[in-house]
Each structure stands twice: as structure tokens, then as C-alpha cells.
């Protein structure tokens, strides 16, 4: 695990080569086809060195939930273990990791008719207005959700209206986690200094733009069946370029907003990890501040592994 741009992919590939471990992606954006540059999806050369499971299997018009991830990841873990190999889960979608390890609550299924009603209400009073309603019926969830986060507000109110029980209450009881089923080694990789991570983020976003991120989003924009509220398009980088293509910002503003949004993502990921139980931190810097070599990083990771077997 680790924040974006921390070096997770390279470490995973090197561990695959060292251990013969099979990589499972834990990333809510890598599941989408046609979204390669902005998601920092492993390149063809990287995938040849270290194949990844659970990438490139959904169209950007589709949604993907933590529950679906848990089902898919559990299947992949079982198939890898059956081969006598070690599953190596790598990514930055902390909710997916948490759900897989601790389980999910048995929440109500989607209620399309309730969701349609909420969409109509949002058209009339806006999502902040519905967020105010959520504050009244489920203040715990409201405190976690931004007033403009349409999908999360809609789901929380959908659960309440269809079940009469707050989403936060449903989330209080979990089942089906794999934490006790296997022996887990949990590693978080990140540089010690936040400024180093920020520099890596800026350099990577500029490289994405150089490699054709705008053209990649343009292809999605031109399809006509996608919009900015879809999970795929809300991904960091994509929503900023979408705004640019819509004429709402210029190129320089888009670039700066993309970098800032990526930094905010990294901050959220680090917040998750700071409270994570049973986590070993892999600092990618020497005491002098110099970045460790790839070999040194791999050796550090291997030191966390008491055994190579599940």
C-alpha cells in the first residue's frame, strides 16, 4: 500500500520477480479500459515483467464497488494459493484493502427507483440541499461526505430511504473479511519527506500530460455517453482535464489543479495509513534524504517477510 507516486508498482514487479508472487491490483481506476495514462496504469513493458490481475476489464461507463472488488479479489487469491504461489496485492484504494481484510456490512441492494427520485430532487435543490437532509437523518455519514459528492450522498440517502436505517449504522457491522483466513504481511511504501512525494507527483503529472493525457480524456469526452459525475471520470486527473475540455479552465489552470488534486489524494491515502493496524512502513529515503535504489527498496521489503508461504 501507499500514496500515489510512491513507487508501489515498481516494487510489486520486483517482488514478483524475486518471489514468483502473483500481483493483484487494488485500484479503483485501473479497472477501466482506455484509461491508461491518467491512472498510471502499468505499461506493456511493465506488465510483461509483472502481470497484474484485476485491471482493464470494465468500460468507463460502468461502476465498480468495494463489494465487487472483494468478490473478485477473493477469487483471484484463492486461485493463486491453489497454484502454490503467494498473492501480492498492490494499490492505493484503501477502502478496497479495508473491505477485503475486515469485511463488508450486509447493506441493502441498490434501489433504482429511490435513486431516480434523488436525482430529480437534486435537480431541484442541488446536492448540497440533499446533503443537508443527510445531515438530519445520518449526521455521521454526512460528516464524512462532501456536500457536492453526488454519488456518495445519493447512496447514503438511498440506503436510509429504502431501509429506514442510516448508512453509518449498516457500516457498523462487518462480515466476510479475509484477515483471519490468511497470514498477511502489510507494507506501506512512501518517502519520509512529504516534499519529495509532492515533487514526484508534479513530475509524474507533467509526464502524463506530455504522454497524451489530454488526448486520452478527449477520446472519452467525445464518446457522448460519459459525464463528469461517473466514477471513472471523477478519477483524479480525469475530472480536471474534463473541465479543461469543457472550456471551464485553461491548460495551465488544469495542470495546477491536477497536481493539487493528486496531492490531496496522497494526503487522504496517508491519513488512512497512519491509523492502519499491523502495518510495516518502508521509507524509501536514506537518513541523508537521498532516495534508496530499487535494489535497496526491494531488500527492505523482503526483510518484512518472515516466510514466503501463505
In a domain, 310, yes or no: no
Task: Give the CATH number, domain containing residue 233.
Answer: 3.40.50.300
**What is the structure's pLDDT at 173?**
58
Phi then psi for 183, rounded to 5 degrees? -85, 120
| Statement: residue 75 has pLDDT above 90 | yes
| Statement: residue 264 has pLDDT above 70 | yes
The SS3 call for residue 283 is: strand
pTM: 0.81
**What is the structure's pLDDT at 310?**
43
pLDDT band at 191, cuts 50/70/90? very high
| Statement: residue 308 has pLDDT above 50 | no
Please indicate, yes or no, whether residues 65 and 214 belong to a single structural domain of this protein: yes
Q: Rounded CA gap, 222 and 88, in Å?
A: 37
Please indicate, yes or no, whether residues 182 and 252 belong to a single structural domain of this protein: yes
| Statement: residue 309 has pLDDT above 50 | no
C-beta separation of 244 from 256 below 8 A: no
In a domain, 1, yes or no: no
In a domain, 25, yes or no: yes
Please indicate, yes or no, whether residues 220 and 271 belong to a single structural domain of this protein: yes
Please indicate, yes or no, whether residues 57 and 158 belong to a single structural domain of this protein: no
Number of domains in the chain: 2
The residue range of the domain holding 212 is 8-104+177-303
What percentage of the chain has pLDDT greater than the value 70?
Answer: 97
Q: Give the end of a domain, one of 148, 170, 192.
A: 170
Burial class (CB in 10 A: 0-12, 13-18, 19+), 290: exposed
**172 vs 64, more confident:** 64
In a domain, 309, yes or no: no
Q: Which three cell numbers stand for residue 280?
A: 510495516
Question: Which tens digits make up the pLDDT trace of 194-244?
Answer: 999 999 999 999 999 999 999 999 999 999 999 988 999 999 999 999 999
Please indicate, yes or no, whether residues 150 and 35 belong to a single structural domain of this protein: no
Amino acid at each position: 500500500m501507499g500514496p500515489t507516486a510512491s513507487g508501489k508498482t515498481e516494487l510489486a514487479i520486483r517482488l514478483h520477480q524475486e518471489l514468483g508472487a502473483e500481483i493483484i491490483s487494488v485500484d479503483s481506476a485501473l479497472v477501466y479500459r482506455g484509461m491508461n495514462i491518467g491512472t498510471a496504469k502499468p505499461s506493456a513493458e511493465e506488465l510483461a515483467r509483472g502481470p497484474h490481475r484485476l485491471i482493464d476489464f470494465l468500460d468507463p461507463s460502468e461502476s465498480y464497488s468495494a463489494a465487487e472488488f472483494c468478490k473478485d479479489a477473493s477469487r483471484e487469491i484463492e486461485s493463486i494459493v491453489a497454484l502454490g504461489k503467494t498473492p501480492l496485492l498492490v494499490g492505493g484504494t484503501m477502502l478496497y484493502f479495508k473491505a477485503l481484510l475486515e469485511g463488508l456490512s450486509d447493506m441493502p441492494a441498490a434501489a433504482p427507483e429511490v435513486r431516480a427520485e434523488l436525482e430529480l430532487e437534486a435537480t431541484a435543490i442541488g446536492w448540497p440541499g440533499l446533503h443537508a437532509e443527510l445531515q438530519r437523518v445520518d449526521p455521521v455519514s454526512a460528516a464524512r461526505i462532501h456536500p457536492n459528492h453526488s454519488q456518495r450522498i445519493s447512496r447514503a440517502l438511498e440506503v436510509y430511504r429504502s431501509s429506514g436505517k442510516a448508512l453509518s449504522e449498516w457500516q457498523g457491522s462487518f462480515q466476510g473479511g479475509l484477515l483471519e483466513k490468511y497470514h498477511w504481511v502489510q507494507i506501506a511504501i512512501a518517502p519520509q519527506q512529504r516534499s519529495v512525494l509532492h515533487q514526484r507527483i508534479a513530475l509524474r503529472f507533467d509526464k502524463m500530460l506530455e504522454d497524451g493525457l489530454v488526448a486520452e480524456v478527449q477520446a472519452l469526452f467525445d464518446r457522448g455517453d460519459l459525464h463528469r459525475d461517473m466514477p471513472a471520470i471523477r478519477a483524479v486527473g480525469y475530472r480536471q482535464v474534463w473541465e479543461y475540455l469543457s472550456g471551464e479552465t485553461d491548460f495551465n489552470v488544469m495542470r495546477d489543479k491536477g497536481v493539487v488534486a493528486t496531492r490531496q489524494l496522497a494526503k487522504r491515502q496517508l491519513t488512512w495509513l497512519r491509523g492502519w493496524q499491523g502495518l510495516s512502513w518502508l521509507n524509501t529515503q536514506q537518513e541523508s534524504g537521498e532516495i534508496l535504489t530499487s535494489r535497496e527498496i526491494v531488500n527492505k521489503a523482503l526483510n518484512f517477510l518472515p516466510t514466503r508461504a501463505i
